[in-house]
Amino acid sequence: MRSDLMKKGLERAPHRSLYKAMGYTDEELARPMIGVVNSANEVIPGHIHLNTIAEAVKAGIRMAGGTPVTFPTIGVCDGIAMGHIGMKYSLASRELIADSIEIMATAHPFDGLVMVTNCDKIVPGMLMAALRLNIPTIVVSGGPMMAGKLNGKPVDLISVFEGVGEVKSNKMSEESLKSLEDCACPGSGSCSGMFTANSMNCVTEALGLGLPGNGTIPSISAARVRLAKQAGMQVMDLVEKDIKPRDIATFQAFKNAIAVDMALGCSTNTVLHIPAIAHEAGIDLDLDLFNDISSRTPNLCHLSPAGHHHLEDLDEAGGIQGVMKEISTLGVIDLECPTVTGKTVGDNIKTASVKNRDVIRSVKDPYSTQGGIVILRGNLAPDGAVVKQSAVSPDMMTNEGTARVFDSEEEAMSAIMGGEIKPGDVVIIRYEGPKGGPGMREMLSPTSAIAGMGLDKSVALLTDGRFSGGTRGAAIGHISPEAADGGPIGLVREGDRIAIDIPNKTIELKISDKEMDARRKTYVPRPPAIRHGYLGRYAKMVTSASTGAIFKE
């Protein structure tokens, strides 16, 4: 056993003594030792209940003959960090999470790991660590939050963000916003729409590193606790058979995950995280792969913010296994890929079915014949940009408008809330990329304000930063190279014309090559906004969004 490195033999008597100081018995030390990574905290609603999930995992490990050993990691709540300096630390926390797990599981060599997670950067950070360490591992999420209810209609966190814009444009009273605020997030779990947290939990299941149900079983359900116990028991089988994450997360498995991503209409942040996770397995995922798979995978689900359904509806309709079975008829799912169940994808989905065609449409009746996400390229984004096309109004799929240029989210937000943005404008927010931000802030506040003010069908927003999975409208992010790296977005001037053609996957700054070259010769990128502490180091090490914002080798 791998754990013998720290517990077996005469020379390890001091090590055993230290474990006994914590109450471990000789019998427990003789068993396989399983690290339980628990990201519970009292900051994130998706993590407030994770001690319960971790205890269930530990019970499962003990039932199957192992010894659980818990250790923590950090987590940032993107919603609470939104709109201020805290959001600069969100994406940057992903690398710290992966690094901290690597440290803990190498300094204390466990035989296997169960990673208890739930929200935006914690899930990909844990997956990156799993593939880097490559010891038997299962990831189990805490499950999605239920949707709130107001006047008989479902509401969620995005309803509150958009409500701010509605109040500002006199479409809602402050009293109504207070009522919405009080009920939109009714309890524990990852926010209830197909935002980044739930997107990544669903991707984990599709990738084969989470058990069936991992992405959709609600946090408040007893089935979620049972799933956690099953994860604890199942990791012992993986340890016995020495089935490791890289045995499961192959190139074909990543293609499966991207296909499910497209069918669901997941967050654009998956385009950052999936390549970063694959990188840890030594797999290179080019952005063009997303377009290739999107062209062959129809969008079958419109969950919030694209539609009125939520994760609880997807779970009742058949969940991720139902979606995989539906799109498998198109040949976009490799049924032979192994999973943490010990069975193949094909075996797992044999008994799956779609129970509600309003939530999971048939491949013969999709919302669109292409997937929910598309990669755009052009002279404004030569290395690519990303948009959640399933959440874009048909009126905005092809659009040309006038550039309104801002060098920070705060500047743009002030203009939006001040009524300075008009129909036909294209809001440019730059110096918010991985390096320039630094940290590539998620910008739900400006997109929600635009939507709340009724401008999402007439105003586009472009940035070298990124968006929340809750963003809707013509919000195009990850524009690469970023302004701080000398990218063309840094050359845009107030009043320039911008042409967006999502169906043809292009984004163009409407100036001549001669003018572009002239501007480039005089352009001096602004240095990162923060140059000290962790973010200062992060800005020096991070790569482009087009490569998943991973660290330089």
Catalytic residue among 219, 468, 544, 546: 468
Higher pLDDT, 83 or 357: 357
Packing angle of the helix pair 409-417, 157-168 (nearest 10 deg)? 50
Mean pLDDT of 30-41: 98
First to last CA, the chain: 31
The confidence score (pLDDT) of residue 167 equals: 93
Query: Which residue shows structure tokens 């701080």?
Result: 484
Mean pLDDT of 249-256: 98
Strand partners for 388: 373
Cis amide linkage into residue 124, ω under 30° from 0:
no
**Distance in angstroms (rounded) separating the CA atoms of residues 350 and 347:** 5
**Distance in angstroms (rounded) separating the CA atoms of residues 380 and 519:** 13
- Single out the residue of 434, 387, 439, 433 nearest to residue 407, CA to CA: 433
381-388 and 475-480 strand pairing? antiparallel
Q: Greatest CA separation found in the chain? A: 76
User: Please, what sign has the CA dihedral across residues 410, 415, 416, 421?
Assistant: negative
Helix (H) or strand (E) holding 466: none
**Distance in angstroms (rounded) separating the CA atoms of residues 244 and 45:** 31
Does residue 97 contact residue 129 with C-beta atoms inside 8 Å? yes
The token pair that represents 402 in the structure block: 């006038």
- Single out the residue of 203, 217, 231 nearest to residue 138, CA to CA: 231
Packing angle of the helix pair 50-63, 222-241 (nearest 10 deg)? 40
Task: Give residue-wise pLDDT tens across range 450-479.
Answer: 988 999 999 999 999 998 887 888 999 999
Does residue 333 contact residue 345 with C-beta atoms inside 8 Å? yes
The confidence score (pLDDT) of residue 49 equals: 98
The confidence score (pLDDT) of residue 471 equals: 83
Mean pLDDT of 423-429: 97
Packing angle of the helix pair 90-107, 122-133 (nearest 10 deg)? 40
The confidence score (pLDDT) of residue 472 equals: 85
Q: What is the mean pLDDT of the chain?
A: 96
Task: Give residue-wise pLDDT tens across range 277-296.
Answer: 999 999 999 999 999 999 99
- Single out the residue of 259, 252, 249 nearest to residue 330, CA to CA: 259
| 3-state class (DSSP) for residue 472 | coil
- Residue 372: C-alpha distances to residues 243, 470, 473 (Å): 33, 13, 13
Task: Give residue-wise pLDDT tens across range 180-209.
Answer: 999 999 999 999 999 999 999 999 999 999
pLDDT confidence tier of residue 273, bands split at 50, 70 and 90: very high
The confidence score (pLDDT) of residue 165 equals: 87
Mean pLDDT of 156-173: 92
Question: CB neighbours of 104 closer than 8 A, spacing ≥ 6?
Answer: 35, 37, 71
Task: Give residue-wise pLDDT tens across range 116-128.
Answer: 999 999 999 999 9
**159 catalytically annotated:** no
